[in-house]
Chains A and B, each alone.
Chain A
Amino acid sequence: MPLLEVKDLNIHYHVQGGILKAVEGISFSLEKGRSLGFVGESGCGKTTLGMALMRLLPSNGFISDGQIIFDGEDIRKKNEEEMRKVRWQKISMIFQAAMNALNPVQRVGNQIVEAITTHSPLLKKDEAFKMVKNLFQLVGIPGDRIKDYPHQYSGGMKQRAVIAMALACKPKLIIADEPTTALDVIVQDQILQEIKGLQEEFQISIIFISHDISVVANVSHEIGIMYAGELVEYGNTEEVFESPRHPYTKALLSSYPTLNGEKNMLTPIPGETPNLMNPQTGCRFFDRCPNAISSCKINPAEWVTISPTHKVLCYQCGRDCGI
């Protein structure tokens, strides 16, 4: 049984002038000890998805349909009290601007001790402190910095502290939403290696959410490409990168400048992402797709299985696929 199974998830927002369909019909599953990356551009619903898994949607957002089965239990059926036990202890999260999540007037170590003791009240304070020391060692913060205040930390160290906090209760699943976006490349690389190492060591499942396809490529076993609230391609990372099938994935890959190989002209994706207030009936990528045919506009895209570990949401690919 997979650790997390999401079936046909729909998330909507109440906004001025109607309902915004932020996430539509997303299904995936995640095994223990595996990592899954979601990639997409701003507004594609990836952050909303992460928040929904923790049931932390903003007050105007709601899960309108679908199931989230975590560890054999339905997350949607839990009440707030039960959810509080799941958060941090079973599922924890590394937020987008996590470095700002630290309270500036409290010592970093104390904040994590507090987080631990509130969730396991039986633990004594000095035991918790010892735990934090171990955690800091794990994420690569020198033990003598435990009593420092957040402003004495560099950006990378704050991020490490936040990762330590996420690990504190030995969760089964960590949702990392843009964990390295604000960091410089060298530090980003170190943090990603750190997370990867910890994941292998403790067999934690991780969901990475990022706008940067290259970040996700290096850390996750499976990858899901999101576009305008939908999952458009899903599969084993190597397979997706070696033979991307969805036109959006292909376009996304060819719009990234690379370091090696031929210096090709970048081919940007023309146009803009669609309005999610009333999306068109057919494929959402229709307007920007280079090989769309007229029926793409009317018929919703269908999932096509390329291999047992690779599937793509494209009406066209189901026909001839242009392999």
Chain B
Amino acid sequence: MNAAQLSTDNKNVIRPHWINRFLEGWSIYKKSILGKIGMVLLAVFALMAISSFIPPKINPMYEPMSGVDPYISKATGPSMRHWLGTDFIGRDLFSQLLVGARIAFLVGISAAFMSVFLGTAIGMIAGYAGKFTDTLLMRLADIIMVMPSLLVLLMLSALFSKLSIWFIVLFIALFRWPGVSRVIRSQTLSLKHRPFIEAARVAGASHLRIIFRHIMPNVLPLSFLYMTFQVTSAIIIEAALAFLGFGDPSTVSWGMMLQWVWKTGHMFKAPYWLLPPGICISLITLSFYMLGRAMDEVLDPRLRKEGENY
């Protein structure tokens, strides 16, 4: 018996609604090849991020930022001692790559979470309140959406000279919420006039209650979906910033690694240095994207209808 059957057939089994929903969603998700590939890739990256703590423990020269191989002071290719080789001052590339995965997750997920949180809250408020509030918030969203974010960041970094990774995360979140808020707003607008919202109004529910009890649970799945796409773009933005030299100089990220390759003129001389971070950036964004696509299939009611009719 598959999960979908479990959730609809066993009416007597008392189980929280969200578990049923999750199992139902999972059974649809499982059928998507894209989703499976994305999951496997993500698992690999997660493993990389977790194991990034190990190399420095083995030998302090594997410290990704400060550890330098005492015998090597130039870029060298892969060897038993340095699986991916070393960079121009003898730092281990493999341990840098592992830390990069950690930073990518950190930046991607926290920036995406923040932007989706902001976008969902603002979208719901704008959609539900309507009128002046709606106009104000949506014009603000428009302004931010058309602002060239890289340019603004370049200016900011020129002003403050050094940007910490958390500032970049916050910055990405502040620049990425308008897209989410637009989607959530339109969803809220369509929910607002549904009879079950009106029924809550007739029952005397306050606006807060309607927003949190009735609208939010119905838009959250969409927010989650958008979060996966936001992760993708957050990682790309961070990598781009770092590559251009506006990243956090005290953090090793894949973008930062690429910047070092380029800055030190190893672009075409050291493929063992250039390729791994480049491939990793592509693959991690791809895997989040595939995750999102598979979740899209789960959420798309047209696909769910087939099983729901009977």
Indicate whether B307 reaches chain A with its CB closer than 8 angstroms.
yes
Indicate whether B240 reaches chain A with its CB closer than 8 angstroms.
no
How far, in whole Å, are A275 and B5 apart by their CA atoms in the complex? 15
Q: Is A15 a contact of B306 with CB atoms below 8 Å? A: yes
Residue-wise, chain A 1-30 has the 8 Å CB interface mask toward B (1 for contact) of: 000000000000101110010000000000
How far, in whole Å, are A79 and B306 apart by their CA atoms in the complex? 27
How far, in whole Å, are A129 and B281 apart by their CA atoms in the complex? 63
How far, in whole Å, are A13 and B307 apart by their CA atoms in the complex? 12
By secondary structure, the B interface counts as helix
Q: Is B5 a contact of A15 with CB atoms below 8 Å? A: no
Chain B nearest CB, measured from A33 CB (Å): 37
Indicate whether B4 reaches chain A with its CB closer than 8 angstroms.
yes
Within the complex, which residue of A16, A20, A275, A276 is in contact with B4, where a contact is CB–CB below 8 Å? A16
Residue-wise, chain B 274-310 has the 8 Å CB interface mask toward A (1 for contact) of: 0000000000000000000000000000000011011
Smallest CB gap from A13: residue in B: B310
Indicate whether A277 reaches chain B with its CB closer than 8 angstroms.
yes
Which residues of B are found within 8 Å of A16, using beta-carbon distances? 4, 306-307
Q: Is B309 a contact of A17 with CB atoms below 8 Å? A: no
Smallest CB gap from B27: residue in A: A16
Residue-wise, chain A 266-287 has the 8 Å CB interface mask toward B (1 for contact) of: 0000000001110000000000
Smallest CB gap from B28: residue in A: A16
Smallest CB gap from A20: residue in B: B310
Which residues of A are found within 8 Å of B307, using beta-carbon distances? 15-17
How far, in whole Å, are A182 and B227 apart by their CA atoms in the complex? 42
Q: Which of B307, B309, B310: most chain A Cβ within 10 A?
A: B310
Smallest CB gap from B8: residue in A: A17
How far, in whole Å, are A20 and B310 apart by their CA atoms in the complex? 8
> Interface size bucket, B side?
under 10
Which residues of A are found within 8 Å of B309, using beta-carbon distances? 15
Which residues of A are found within 8 Å of B306, using beta-carbon distances? 15-16, 60
Chain A nearest CB, measured from B255 CB (Å): 45
Chain A nearest CB, measured from B30 CB (Å): 13
How far, in whole Å, are A128 and B9 apart by their CA atoms in the complex? 56
Which residues of B are found within 8 Å of A20, using beta-carbon distances? 310
In the complex, chain B residues 1-32 whose Cβ is within 8 Å of any chain A Cβ: 4-5
Smallest CB gap from A43: residue in B: B310
Chain A nearest CB, measured from B263 CB (Å): 56
How far, in whole Å, are A16 and B27 apart by their CA atoms in the complex? 12
Residue-wise, chain A 287-298 has the 8 Å CB interface mask toward B (1 for contact) of: 000000000000
Q: Which of A16, A17, A275, A277: most chain B Cβ within 10 A?
A: A16
Smallest CB gap from B9: residue in A: A17
How far, in whole Å, are A17 and B4 apart by their CA atoms in the complex? 9
Smallest CB gap from A277: residue in B: B310
Which residues of B are found within 8 Å of A60, using beta-carbon distances? 306
Smallest CB gap from A275: residue in B: B310
Smallest CB gap from B309: residue in A: A15
Smallest CB gap from A14: residue in B: B306
How far, in whole Å, are A20 and B307 apart by their CA atoms in the complex? 11
Q: Which of A15, A17, A60: most chain B Cβ within 10 A?
A: A17
- A interface, CB within 8 angstroms of B: 13, 15-17, 20, 60, 275-277
Task: Provide a sorted-by-A list of 16 A–B residue pairs whose CB atoms are within 8 angstroms.
Answer: A13-B310, A15-B306, A15-B307, A15-B309, A15-B310, A16-B4, A16-B306, A16-B307, A17-B4, A17-B5, A17-B307, A20-B310, A60-B306, A275-B310, A276-B310, A277-B310
A-B pairs, 9 with minimum CB distance: A16-B307, A15-B310, A20-B310, A17-B5, A16-B306, A277-B310, A16-B4, A15-B309, A15-B306
A16-B4, A17-B307, A277-B310 given; 11 more Cβ-contact pairs under 8 Å: A13-B310, A15-B306, A15-B307, A15-B309, A15-B310, A16-B307, A17-B5, A20-B310, A60-B306, A275-B310, A276-B310
